[in-house]
Structure 1
């Protein structure tokens, strides 16, 4: 009992420190946050060996034509942007809404959402881990009825803080289970917008292998099921960071393959959508995520496996 209470107190203390930091940073300007990110980024690259290793391995797969020096430079820029995203969480979740809105410098492609809803269709926004996706959530939930799946953090004491930050502009968060999928379907049938993370590996049985920058990646198959049952339109949405100034919201046309009833074809289209978003600025993608982990796990089951080993 004493050990359990001690662990619980430790998690609460850690959550308090993290939320206190977010609250403090929420009062900083975006230019100041970027300057701090620029100072911390090289330290993250130097001392966070896991993040550096995964980032550089992923970049080696995705950009094999780059020189080693070019990939290292891109890795450094990427980890600087990832550092900025972490420091900007307080801004997205806790700063005065008018201040967050003022940091959104432009919105491109809003007509894609307005047109779909005018036709009585829902909109599925594919939101990859690019730029600051929490700012994208802020804008979407402030301008449209918006629903997104949500998985509570490992530090449970942070759950109400994160949930409040994401819901404060009107977003509806639903669990990552069949009940949550049912809520997404209902929202789409009401001609509302929903958000899906297209670049997270799903659990085994909930995805298929589809090419991502020429290599198979395990990709969720939720999208074709939602499209088939609602005739929703699909767009890719990102909040592109303009360093030290703010963000540009971009909504991009989806690859037409996302509308296929074939799971592999649709997943291929989803990954192509992520690739198009990354092309806006490759340094702003979160390359430290093990996107190819499951294909390695599967291939390592083979007795003569000698191929791709990115991690």
Structure 2
């Protein structure tokens, strides 16, 4: 059985890597056309993604009627398909072509001004648009450090790592050693990236509202801010269907600077909401953002640690 599983993993890794290499030569316009073909298929056959997307959209936009919610769900799965198809382009495509695909950059002054004042910059990079293109741009223009967790298919790790590091980004592990590296980078007035919308393990977060519902949210940010006085911005690469991408940097909600972890987490989630408002269909709604619940936390012996922000 183990040998069969190992063979299956090798086969899947090889197939994925081959697909990335093939698609790395495609232009964003062609990848978008392919996504428009693939997205409806995912909508049809992937019940889990369709169900979670609709539930999350219903939570975030209760004012939408059923028809509008279904349309946004379809649009969202097309954009998610595009993101997956664009990975080879972002990691393996000709660097000049990737750079040329970035048509617009908004809010760069937020990063430049902070660094001119001797402050590091923490970039909150939610799962919106194509975050790998955002990594490409950031590491092309600033000393940039980000946390990295190897993929489940270990054979893909060298490809992903080289792709993310090829413009100079430094990847650090998701452990205390990685946190120490982020702190050092910020003290050198560099930029670091963290994922604000990935659910942390128990003990590494607090509950804070996200689109009106309590979501378990990481508390790494206030620790970094308290020790470095860094500025915080939200960064996304918004897809311009058929043309390329627009980079957006938005000033974070002021609550992110609060020393109270729950208050800061509420500011993080509000910052993510503001980025999503640029184009709600480009957010990865199929991610189960509300898996951990306050009710589940209360069943744990140390539940008081998992406090709420109201």
TM-score (norm 1): 0.94
Q: Which of these residues, 99, 110, 123, is aligned with residue 97 of structure 2? A: 99
Q: Which of these residues, 262, 265, 268, is aligned with residue 264 of structure 1? A: 262
1:186 aligns with 184
Q: CA deviation at 1:298?
A: 1.4
In the alignment, does 2:20 pair up with 1:22?
Answer: yes
1:81 aligns with 79
Query: Secondary structure of 1:9's partner?
Result: helix
Query: Secondary structure of 2:292's partner?
Result: helix
Query: Secondary structure of 2:55's partner?
Result: helix
Deviations 1:81-136 (A, max 9, x none): 00000000001000010000000001111111011111111000000000000000
Detail structure 1 runs of 4+ shifted over 6 Å in the superposition.
none
Query: Secondary structure of 2:68's partner?
Result: helix
CA distance in 2, matches of 1:149, 1:6: 32
Q: Which of these residues, 226, 250, 265, is aligned with residue 252 of structure 1? A: 250
Q: Which of these residues, 111, 114, 119, is aligned with residue 113 of structure 1? A: 111
CA distance in 2, matches of 1:7, 1:166: 28
Query: Secondary structure of 1:294's partner?
Result: coil
Q: CA deviation at 1:297?
A: 6.2
What is the aligned residue count?
Answer: 300
CA distance in 2, matches of 1:27, 1:301: 51
- Cα-Cα RMSD: 1.3
1:275 aligns with 273
CA distance in 1, matches of 2:216, 2:243: 36
1:308 aligns with none
TM-score (norm 2): 0.95
Q: CA deviation at 1:6?
A: 3.4
Structure 2 portions without partners, runs of 5+: 301-310
CA distance in 2, matches of 1:300, 1:42: 40
Q: CA deviation at 1:301?
A: 4.8
CA distance in 1, matches of 2:172, 2:297: 34
CA distance in 1, matches of 2:45, 2:223: 42
CA distance in 1, matches of 2:27, 2:11: 27
Q: Which of these residues, 31, 42, 45, is aligned with residue 43 of structure 2? A: 45
| 2:207–2:294 contact (8 Å) kept in structure 1 | no
2:198 aligns with 200
Deviations 1:28-87 (A, max 9, x none): 111111111111111111111000000000011111111111111000000000000000
Query: Secondary structure of 1:293's partner?
Result: coil
Structure 1 portions without partners, runs of 5+: 303-311
In the alignment, does 2:67 pair up with 1:69?
Answer: yes
